[in-house]
Amino acid sequence: MLSTSVATLNAHRYQVKTAALPRGAVVHHYHDHRTGQHRQQTLPQEEMIRRYISHIPARHFKMVRYSGFVES
């Protein structure tokens, strides 16, 4: 099966399977912590990009990386 990795931070999680999927589909591999199983989800490219962009913070948003005991 022919596969091409998508250039992302976690490229191994997102692969385009050109031989087995409809045109423009992306397969997302993830670990379901509720069931403890490895799962995969097939999404259209537009939906995958929409979900990916939803994790980008707004401009000038102040991110808190550490707080409490770890901060000092």
Contacts of 4 (CB under 8 A, 6+ apart): 15, 16, 18
pLDDT the model gives residue 63: 81
pLDDT the model gives residue 8: 44
CA dist., res. 63 & res. 72, Å (int):
17
- Which structure tokens are listed for 56? 């980008």
Query: From the first residue on, what is the mean pLDDT of each consecutive set of 10 residues in the chain (72 residues)?
Result: 46 55 81 92 89 90 76 60
27 near 39, Cβ under 8 Å?
no
pLDDT the model gives residue 36: 93
